[in-house]
Amino acid sequence: MVEGGLPGGMHPDVEKAFELWDIDSLYPPQRDSMEPIANGENLVVAVPTAAGKSLIAYVAILNQVFRGGKALYVVPLKALASEKFHELRELSKLGVRVALSYGDYDDDDKRLESYDVVVATSEKADSLLRHRSKWLMNLKVIVSDEVHLLNDTGRGPTLEVILTRFKQLNPDAQLICLSATIGNSDEIAGWLDARLISSDFRPVDLKEGVLEGNCITYADMSRSEIASVTGNTLTDGIIDGIKDGTGQVLVFVNTRRSCESSAEQMARILPEHLSDHDLRDLNDISHKVGRSDVKIIKKLKRSIMGGTAFHHAGLSNEQRSLVERGFKDKSIKVLFATPTLAAGINLPARRVIVRDWTRFETWNPRSPIPILEIKQMFGRAGRPRYDPHGEALILARKPEEQDVLMERYVWGKPEEVLSKLGSRPALRTHLLSSFATNYVRDLDEMWEFIRSTFYAFQNDTWKIASDVEDILVFLKSEEFIRDEGGKVVSTDLGKRVARLYIDPLSAVVLRNALNAEPKKLTTFSILHAISHTTDIKPLFVRGKDHDHVSEFMYSHEDELLLPIPEDQTEYEWYLNSVKTAMFLMEWIGENSEGIEASEDRIETLFNLGPGDIRSKIDTAVWMLYAMRELSRLFGKGMAKTVDLVSMRVEKGIKKELIPLISLKGIGRVRARRLYDAGLTDLDIMRRASLKKLSAVEGIGKQIALQVQNELRSDGEPIEEDEDEPEEDNGPKQSLLFDFA
Ligand SMILES: Nc1ncnc2c1ncn2[C@@H]1O[C@H](COP(=O)(O)OP(=O)(O)OP(=O)(O)O)[C@@H](O)[C@H]1O
Ligand SMILES: [Mg+2]
C-alpha cells in the first residue's frame, strides 16, 4: 500500500497500479494532488522537471477508467506520445486498454472509441474534434502534458483551442494540466478553473551552475575545479562528467552541424576512457544502425564507436530510438542534441551541459533562448531511478559571460507563458474550423468562443478585433464561409478544408493551381503547386543554388500552375517552392539520372538527412491528398493524376516500379534492383526461379521465398521466416507539425 494511503474518494483499484509501478511513497506534489483528483477537480501541476508529474496524470486517469470512464492524454510531440503510450500500456495488466493516435488528420478514427485511454498529439486531438468524434464528449479526464507550450508560436494555438473547446463542450471532464515551472501557472489555473499545485520539490538533487575556464560555479557560488585534460572547456567538462565511469553527459547545441562535428571530435578522444565491455556494446549499436552511404549515418556510426552520438531531426525515428536506447543503457556516454526533440523525452544524464544559449531567429541571429527552455534542458539531468544526483551547467565562452549567465539562467525565474492565438495564421485556421465544424454559428458565438480562450484571459479582445474582421473578410471572399440570415455558415469548401486540416491559405493556392491551364500538365506541375502551399516548410534557396534553381524553373515554365511573381520577396519564396519540388522530383526519379535518387544523393544535393526526407515526404503526401480532395470538390477531374503522383512520392519511385512495390518487404531500393535485373513485373517474377530471385542484390533467399509465397496464390506457403527485416516502404503515417 502506498505510504499514508490514498484518499477515500479514490477508486480502490488505483492502489494496484502503485504495486505495478513498484512505488510505495508519493512525492509531496503528488501527495497534494491526490485529494483534488479524488474530488474530480481540475488541476494545474506546475512543478520542476523530474518531479513525477506523469504519475499524477496516470492516477487521475485510472480513478476514472476504473469507473468506466475514458481518458485522453494530449502531448505536443509524436516522440513524447510514443513514450507516454509505452508507459501507459503497462496498465494493460490491470485491464486498461490504451491506444496511440497521431497522423492522418482526415479521419475520425472510430476504432478509438473502444479504448479506455487514448494518447494523441495536440494536432490529432484538434483534428478529432473537427471530425466531431462523439466519444470525445464522453471523456472523463483530459490530460494536457507540457501545457506551458501554450507559449509556443507553432503549437500553442492548437493546444489552446482544444482546451477551450473541451471546456465548453465537455465541462464535466476533469482537466489535468502538467507544466514546467513558469512565471504564471496561477493564470493558467485561473483560466481553466483549476486547483494549482506548485512546488519547488525535486526528488533528485539538481545542482545548476556555470562552466567557465576550468571551473564550475554553482548557484550558491561554491566552486569546483575540473582537470584540464585537453585545454578546451567543453571537452574537459564532458570528460570530468564521465570520469568515475558511471556518469553520462548530455550536451545541448543549437545547430545540427555542430551536433555532428562535436560528436565526431569527442569520439576521437573518448575511447581511452572506455572499457572493453563498453566498446563491445557500442560496436553492437553501431552495427544496428546498419550500412549506409549517407554521410550523416556514417558519422553517427563513427561517433557511436567512440562512445558518443548525436540526436536531431535529420535522423530517422529508428536511428533516434537506437541512440536513445544506447544512451539510456549507458553504453553511449556522451550525447550531443538539438533541444527541440530532446527536451521533451526522458534522456537521463548525470550532467547536462548547455553549450549554446542563443539561437538563430529571423529578427536576431543570436537571439537568447528563453529561461523556460534552458530550464527544460537542465531538467534532463538527475532523473529518479537513473542517477543519484544531477548537474546542469551552462557554458560561458569568456569570463565576462559568467555573471550574465548566472543571473539569467541559473538564478533567473522562467518567463510567463503568453497566448499566441492572436496571430493571424492561428486565427485564420481556427476561426474557419470553428465555423466549419459548427462549433460557432454566428458572430456572437464566435466572440463567445474567443472570450473563453487563454488569449482573452490575458488580453483585451479589442486588440484582435480588426485582425478578426480582416480574417472574416478573407474567409468570405475566398468562399470558405458566407452569411445566411444572420448566421455564418461554412461552404462545402470551408468544411472540407477544416477537415483536411490545412491552412485556408494553402487551400487558396491549391484552388488557383487546379484552375490553371498550363501548356503542359506534368508531375512537376503538381509537385510545385503543393510545394507552394503554406503548410509545406520549403527548402531554402541559398546563394550558390540560386542560378541553378531559377534555370530549372524557367526551363519548366510551361508546366507551372502558379504564375511566377514579379515582387522580389515573393519571387524568392517562389524559388524556394521550386527547389522543394526539385527535391520531390529527385525522390521519384524524375531527374537527370532517370532513376530514384538514393538517400546519399539527396543528402549531397539538398543537405537533408533520412529524418528530414521522411518528414518532408509525409507533409507532401498530405498536401497531395488535400489537392486530390479539392480537385474532386471542384470537379476538376485531376484526382487520378494526383493520386498517382502521391503514390509515387509516398514510395519514392518511378511509375514502372508500382507493381513491384505492392509486394511485402519490397521497398524502393529492392524494387529498383529487381527491375534492373529484368524482373520488371509480377508475372515475370512469378515465373522466375528462386535462384534468380535470390541472386538479386539485397534480396537473398528469405525475401525471395517470401515474395514467391505471396505471388503463388494457389499452393501452400513454401516456408516463412518472420525475422527477415522489412524494407522501409516510405512513410507510414503522416504528421504535419512534428519534428519541425
Ligand atoms: N513517487 C515516486 N517514487 C519513485 N519514483 C517516482 C515517483 N514518481 C515518479 N517517479 C519516477 O520519476 C521519474 C520522472 O517522472 P516524470 O517523467 O513523471 O517526470 P516529470 O515531472 O513529468 O518531468 P518532466 O518535466 O521532465 O517531464 C520517472 O522515471 C518516474 O517513474
Ligand atoms: Mg513529464
**Is residue 6 one of the residues assigned to a domain?**
no
Pair (287, 401) in one structural domain? yes
pLDDT, average across residues 296-303: 95
What integer pLDDT is reported at residue 5 of this predicted model? 83
Q: How far is the CA of 238 from the centre of ligand 1 (A)?
A: 26
What integer pLDDT is reported at residue 736 of this predicted model? 30
Q: What is the DSSP letter of 135?
A: G
Chain Cα centroid distance, residue 163: 20
Among 203-212, 594-603, 718-727, the minimum mean pLDDT is found in 718-727
Mutate to test the pocket of ligand 1, among 30, 49, 55 (most ligand atoms within 8 A of CB): 55
pLDDT digits (tens, 9 = 90+) for 171-193: 999 999 999 889 999 999 999 99
CATH number at residue 700: 1.10.150.20
Q: Which atom of ligand 1 is nearest to the CA of 25?
A: 1
What integer pLDDT is reported at residue 732 of this predicted model? 35
**For residue 283, what is its C-alpha cell?**
560496436
Is the CB of residue 313 less than 8 Å from the CB of residue 338? Answer: yes
Q: Is the pLDDT of residue 166 over 90?
A: yes
Q: How far is the CA of 199 from the centre of ligand 1 (A)?
A: 14
Which ligand does the CA of 145 lie closest to? 2
Q: Is the pLDDT of residue 693 over 80?
A: yes
Average pLDDT over the chain reads 91
Q: How far is CA 487 from CA 444, 495, 728, in A?
A: 10, 16, 50
Output the residue whose Cα is nearest ligand 1's atom 29. 384
What integer pLDDT is reported at residue 339 of this predicted model? 86
Region label for 375, one of left (φ > 0), alpha (ψ between -120 and 50) or beta (otherwise): alpha
Q: Which atom of ligand 1 is nearest to the CA of 379?
A: 26
Q: How far is the CA of 341 from the centre of ligand 1 (A)?
A: 19
CATH number at residue 447: 1.10.10.10
Reported as half-sphere exposure (CB side, CA atoms, 13 A), residue 76 has a value of 26
Cα 136 from Cα 429, distance rounded (Å): 21
Q: How far is the CA of 410 from the centre of ligand 2 (A)?
A: 21
Pair (364, 393) in one structural domain? yes
Cα 123 from Cα 611, distance rounded (Å): 20
Which ligand does the CA of 379 lie closest to? 1
Give the 3-state secondary structure of residue 219: coil
Cα 733 from Cα 203, distance rounded (Å): 38
**Is residue 416 one of the residues assigned to a domain?**
no
Number of Cβ within 10 Å of residue 723's Cβ equals: 6
- With a Cβ cut-off of 6 Å, ligand 1 is lined by 23, 26-27, 30, 49-55, 180, 346, 379, 383-385
**Is residue 92 one of the residues assigned to a domain?**
yes
CATH number at residue 517: 1.10.3380.30
Q: Is the pLDDT of residue 630 over 50?
A: yes
Phi, then psi, of 353 in degrees rounded to 5: -120, 125
pLDDT digits (tens, 9 = 90+) for 348-363: 899 999 999 998 887 8
Pair (406, 429) in one structural domain? no
**Is residue 558 one of the residues assigned to a domain?**
yes
Pair (559, 705) in one structural domain? no
**Is residue 4 one of the residues assigned to a domain?**
no
Last residue of a domain, one of 351, 380, 410: 410
Pair (48, 152) in one structural domain? yes
What integer pLDDT is reported at residue 348 of this predicted model? 83
Number of Cβ within 10 Å of residue 55's Cβ equals: 19
Pair (39, 137) in one structural domain? yes
What integer pLDDT is reported at residue 713 of this predicted model? 66
Residues with CB under 5 A from ligand 2 (ion): 53
Pair (468, 565) in one structural domain? no
Q: Which of 333, 399, 407, 332 is nearest to 374 (CA)?
A: 407
**For residue 594, what is its C-alpha cell?**
532517370
Q: Which atom of ligand 1 is nearest to the CA of 49?
A: 25
Cα 402 from Cα 736, distance rounded (Å): 40
Q: How far is the CA of 54 from the centre of ligand 1 (A)?
A: 6
Q: Is the pLDDT of residue 715 over 70?
A: no
Q: pLDDT above 70 covers what percent of the chain?
A: 96
Q: How far is the CA of 537 from the centre of ligand 2 (A)?
A: 29
**Is residue 1 one of the residues assigned to a domain?**
no
Q: Is the pLDDT of residue 740 over 70?
A: no
Which ligand does the CA of 383 lie closest to? 1
Q: How far is the CA of 50 from the centre of ligand 1 (A)?
A: 5
**Is residue 8 one of the residues assigned to a domain?**
no
What integer pLDDT is reported at residue 343 of this predicted model? 64
Pair (234, 366) in one structural domain? yes
Last residue of a domain, one of 600, 633, 651: 651
Q: Which atom of ligand 1 is nearest to the CA of 386?
A: 29
Is the CB of residue 202 less than 8 Å from the CB of residue 212? Answer: no
Q: Is the pLDDT of residue 726 over 50?
A: no
Domain span holding position 682? 657-740
**For residue 738, what is its C-alpha cell?**
512534428
Which ligand does the CA of 22 lie closest to? 1
Partnered with residue 179 across adjacent β-strands are: 46
Q: How far is CA 168 from CA 181, 428, 654, in A?
A: 27, 20, 49
pLDDT, average across residues 115-137: 92
Pair (476, 579) in one structural domain? no
Q: Is the pLDDT of residue 110 over 90?
A: no
Exposure string of 410-419, with b = 16+ CB inside 10 Å and e = fewer, is beeebeebbb
Q: Is the pLDDT of residue 735 over 60?
A: no
Pair (240, 363) in one structural domain? yes
Q: Is the pLDDT of residue 506 over 60?
A: yes
Is beta strand 308-311 parallel, antiparallel or unpaired with respect to 334-337? parallel
Phi, then psi, of 96 in degrees rounded to 5: -90, 130
Cα 300 from Cα 366, distance rounded (Å): 28
Q: How far is the CA of 483 from the centre of ligand 2 (A)?
A: 45
Q: How far is the CA of 283 from the centre of ligand 1 (A)?
A: 31
Is the CB of residue 53 less than 8 Å from the CB of residue 44? Answer: no
Mutate to test the pocket of ligand 1, among 1, 53, 179, 387 (most ligand atoms within 8 A of CB): 53
- The position carrying cell 509525409 is 618
Exposure string of 602-625, with b = 16+ CB inside 10 Å and e = fewer, is bbeebebbbbbbbbbbbbbbbbbb
Provide the domain count of the chain. 5
Q: Which atom of ligand 1 is nearest to the CA of 54?
A: 18
Pair (688, 708) in one structural domain? yes
CATH number at residue 241: 3.40.50.300
Q: What is the DSSP letter of 414?
A: P
Output the residue whose Cα is nearest ligand 1's atom 26. 49
Mutate to test the pocket of ligand 1, among 2, 27, 45, 54 (most ligand atoms within 8 A of CB): 54
**Overall residue count recorded for the chain in this entry:** 740
Is the CB of residue 297 less than 8 Å from the CB of residue 305? Answer: no
* CB-count exposure of residue 399 (10 Å: 0-12, 13-18, 19+): exposed
Partnered with residue 224 across adjacent β-strands are: 216
**Is residue 7 one of the residues assigned to a domain?**
no
Number of Cβ within 10 Å of residue 403's Cβ equals: 12
Q: What is the DSSP letter of 253?
A: -
Strand locations in 105-166 (E): 117-121, 139-144
The better pLDDT of the pair 397, 715 is held by 397
Among 78-87, 396-405, 450-459, 547-556, the minimum mean pLDDT is found in 78-87
What's the distance, Cα to Cα, between the start and end of the chain in Å?
Answer: 44
- The position carrying cell 572506455 is 274
Q: Which atom of ligand 1 is nearest to the CA of 56?
A: 18
Give the 3-state secondary structure of residue 223: strand
Is the CB of residue 603 less than 8 Å from the CB of residue 295? Answer: yes
Is the CB of residue 660 less than 8 Å from the CB of residue 534? Answer: no
Number of Cβ within 10 Å of residue 78's Cβ equals: 24
Q: Which of 324, 352, 349 is nearest to 209 (CA)?
A: 352
Contacts of residue 621, Cβ cutoff 8 Å, sequence gap at least 6: 646, 649, 650, 731, 734
Cα 511 from Cα 27, distance rounded (Å): 56
Cα 314 from Cα 337, distance rounded (Å): 11
pLDDT digits (tens, 9 = 90+) for 423-442: 999 999 999 999 999 999 99
Q: pLDDT above 90 covers what percent of the chain?
A: 79
pLDDT digits (tens, 9 = 90+) for 19-29: 999 999 999 99
Output the residue whose Cα is nearest ligand 1's atom 30. 52
Phi, then psi, of 341 in degrees rounded to 5: -85, -40
Q: How far is the CA of 31 from the centre of ligand 1 (A)?
A: 13
Q: Is the pLDDT of residue 335 over 50?
A: yes
Q: Which of 606, 725, 610 is nearest to 670 (CA)?
A: 725
Pair (386, 450) in one structural domain? no
Last residue of a domain, one of 144, 166, 198: 198
Cα 213 from Cα 228, distance rounded (Å): 9
pLDDT, average across residues 453-458: 97
